[in-house]
Amino acid sequence: ELKAVVFDLDGVLADTAVLHRAAWQQLAAEIDAPLDEATAERMKGVDRMGSLEILLEHAPRRYGDAEKAELAARKNARYAELIEHLDPNNLLPGARAAVESVRHAGLKTALASASRNAPRLIERLGIADLFDYVVDASHITHSKPDPEIYLAAAAGLGLAPADCLGVEDAAAGIASIHAAGMAAVGIGRADALAEADVLLPNIAAFDIDRIRTKSGPPAR
């Protein structure tokens, strides 16, 4: 029985994916690492160091651990600066309504963002009060596609994963949801999200009543 919906943040509720991309793009240029569309897509939903490792696959030289830490910190300083300019207008259209509709339907809500900046982000976006539980990304050791973050969300809500539905914009996130034993709603394009159980073009198309009646309880 569906009892909760667990939302990803970047790319689902807020268009911060473009800000992550911009910050990575600047770093990529500084270290002469090419960052094409396919590589950028793979970095989505993956934690900071994991994203850096993907970027460095095409770097012209190898980096040691201390250097990697510096590169990641440099990217994050820029990203942190960018999100200070955000306000509730930077929520994607329909994002607040989607989360509220879940609450009105009597279900619980959680946020499962791999971002260590998520607490600050939801404060800037004015949505911190909409979630029964927010996974603290700093307590997660295995990045999406590992199930850890979605399992932590279900545990935080006090629910079985099978009673939860996950909503994601990245392939790594869909894989994480499925590995946790939840059904997955994909937000975005079919080519990137082929594994999703339900595919929607954007969060504005999210209709909890439709999902409940059409697909019933999570099939997995």
Which residues 13-32 are close enough to bind ligand G16 by CB under 6 A? 17, 20
Q: Does 46 engage in binding with ligand G16 (CB under 6 A)?
A: yes
Residue 99 backbone class (left: φ over 0; alpha: ψ -120 to 50; beta: rest): alpha
Which of Mg ion, ligand G16, none sits in contact with 131, Cβ below 5 to 8 A by type?
none
- Determine the Cα–Cα distance for residues 182 and 185; give it in Å rounded to an integer: 10
The CB-of-80 to ligand G16 minimum distance in angstroms stands at: 8
CA separation, residue 19 to residues 16, 46, 84, 201 (Å): 5, 15, 11, 20
The CB-of-168 to Mg ion minimum distance in angstroms stands at: 6
Q: Does 42 engage in binding with ligand G16 (CB under 6 A)?
A: no
Please give the DSSP secondary-structure letter assigned to residue 92: P
CA 168 to chain centre: 6
Q: Which of 25, 30, 24 is nearest to 49 (CA)?
A: 24
Please give the DSSP secondary-structure letter assigned to residue 128: G
Binding-site residue total for Mg ion (CB under 5 A)? Answer: 6
Member of 6, 45, 79, 174 binding Mg ion (CB under 5 A): 45
- Determine the Cα–Cα distance for residues 103 and 148; give it in Å rounded to an integer: 24
Member of 7, 8, 174, 200 binding Mg ion (CB under 5 A): 8
Please indicate whether residue 10 is annotated as part of the active site: yes
Which of Mg ion, ligand G16, none sits in contact with 116, Cβ below 5 to 8 A by type?
ligand G16
Member of 5, 7, 11, 121 binding Mg ion (CB under 5 A): 11
Please indicate whether residue 169 is annotated as part of the active site: no
The CB-of-61 to ligand G16 minimum distance in angstroms stands at: 22
Q: Does 145 engage in binding with Mg ion (CB under 5 A)?
A: no
Which residues contribute to the site for Mg ion (CB under 5 A)? 8, 10-11, 45, 169-170
Active site (catalytic) residues: 8, 10
